[in-house]
Amino acid sequence: MSQQALSPEKYIRTKARTLPIETCLLNAGWSDHGLAVITVIRRHPKGSVTAGVFMVDIFCLGVKDCYSLFNVHEDKLWEALDNIYTEGSLEADYAYVHNIIFNAVDFARSFNVSPHKDFSLCQYILEPEDSIEFIETPVGDKEEKPLFLTSYDYPHNSSVIHKLKKHFGEGGFKVVYRDDLESDDDNDIYNEYEEEEENPDDFELGYSTEDIAIINEKFSRHYKYSDSFDDKIKNLRQFIEKLNTIEYGPAPESAIPRDILEELEMLKVLTERHYENINYEKAWPIIESLISRYPHIEELYYICLEICSACWYDERAKENGDKICTEMLKRFPRSFRAKIKAGIYYDNKGMEDEFKLLWGNDISLKPALMQFNACYVSDVARIAILFMDHLTSENEKIEEAEIIFQALKDLDWFAEYKDEAEDILTVAKDDYLWEQGIEL
């Protein structure tokens, strides 16, 4: 009996790495215009070839597209590549293109942007990520900040910008719209963007009613909710409505005395709290001095923690932010708001273990609210949004986030937070459809 032939997908997953790498191709000028077009070609024993083609956005998105050509004649391969490398290609060392691909993937993953869905297969045409010696290759712009090069009609702008804002904060990344660039030549983009860059706030992060309807409809067709979904929404809503520890009035005003606010003005963190261009070396002594002199003022820790988060590019800021967070939780162990601020900090920093430990390893609204004798509706809203944001970072937990949203969305006091919560959920659904290759 003859052995059944493997499907192309199974062969690539299980056998492709046993084939010798024959050639690697790379487009010229890739580091200047931010898109590396890489082809890795492996030779079969009988002369045919299997190749992986990777479109790598080194500025921001990582592997934005990829596909495989399986067991094809060499002539057919080169015919296809002629259409890709219209301006010619260069032969490159495998170790170098391997690092271009995985460095860009890791860069994008650091702010929760996943590679194209077909990378789950095409990666097997490459060697395992950690099997090749690390070579530094460019990622981000000249300052190694993400540069999101997009167009106004790109359907996933909101999803990407949401993730960039969450991870890097204001001033930590750039957005450039191709539509606004004077030149049509991609080679000029790197040099042009500094004059043409958009403020991320100029892009309205949010979805129209029509967008939300389309995304919800497509998501509901491709995502299977559990049988208990509706019951969980009803139970959570009833729990919150009956909870007698919620204060329905406004939360207290800032407790920071005026003389301390004057010191904070030196850090440009008053009411608007704009953190761009903070000189951390000068900022930290002021932060340290304020906390040592006024350790009893809880809100002071919040502001100092936000400044450390904003200086994501400075390793000392992370170390000191961790210390401030730990000290705040020790000093104010029964403060609901301190716990929320710590949760936001841990979530933004990707400190998964610390985040879960903060809530007793149970990211659920019921047990979190039952920890405290009293809390304001604004605090309940903020923790709900924090949990939604955290849960939606994992596609399999979108349902849990939607249960929170559906339970709260019709409560009167949640009205002012509803749009923010709905945006988080819509971004997650949009991202899920994107990763599944489902067009809007």
pLDDT 10s digits, 284-305: 787 788 888 888 888 888 888 8
pLDDT of residue 273: 42
pLDDT 10s digits, 305-340: 887 777 766 677 778 889 999 999 999 988 888 999
Query: Model-level pTM?
Result: 0.66
pLDDT of residue 266: 64
Higher per-residue confidence, 212 vs 374: 212
pLDDT 10s digits, 411-425: 888 988 998 898 888
pLDDT of residue 427: 84
pLDDT 10s digits, 154-208: 877 878 888 888 778 767 888 988 877 755 555 455 454 444 444 444 444 556 7
pLDDT of residue 246: 74
* Average pLDDT score, the chain: 83
**pLDDT at position 402 over 60:** yes
pLDDT of residue 253: 63
Q: Quick one: tokens of 166?
A: 């969450």
pLDDT 10s digits, 220-265: 888 888 999 999 999 999 998 888 767 766 666 666 777 777 776 6
The CA-based dihedral angle spanning residues 214, 215, 219, 221, taken in that order and rounded to the nearest 10 degrees? 10
Q: Quick one: tokens of 312?
A: 């994501």
pLDDT 10s digits, 127-141: 999 999 999 999 998
pLDDT grade for 114, boundaries at 50, 70 and 90: confident
pLDDT 10s digits, 239-250: 988 887 677 666
Q: Is 8 exposed, middle or buried (0-12, 13-18, 19+ CB in 10 A)?
A: middle
pLDDT grade for 5, boundaries at 50, 70 and 90: low
- Phi/psi at 36 (nearest 5 deg)? -100, 125
- Rounded to a whole number, what is the distance in angstroms from the first to the last CA of the chain? 47
The CB-side HSE value for 6 (13 A sphere, CA atoms) comes to 11
pLDDT 10s digits, 25-79: 999 889 888 999 999 999 998 899 999 999 999 999 999 999 999 999 989 999 8
**pLDDT at position 9 over 60:** yes
pLDDT grade for 430, boundaries at 50, 70 and 90: confident
Q: Quick one: tokens of 390?
A: 């955290």
pLDDT of residue 224: 87
In whole angstroms, give the CA distance from residue 332 to residue 334: 6
pLDDT of residue 196: 43
pLDDT of residue 206: 55
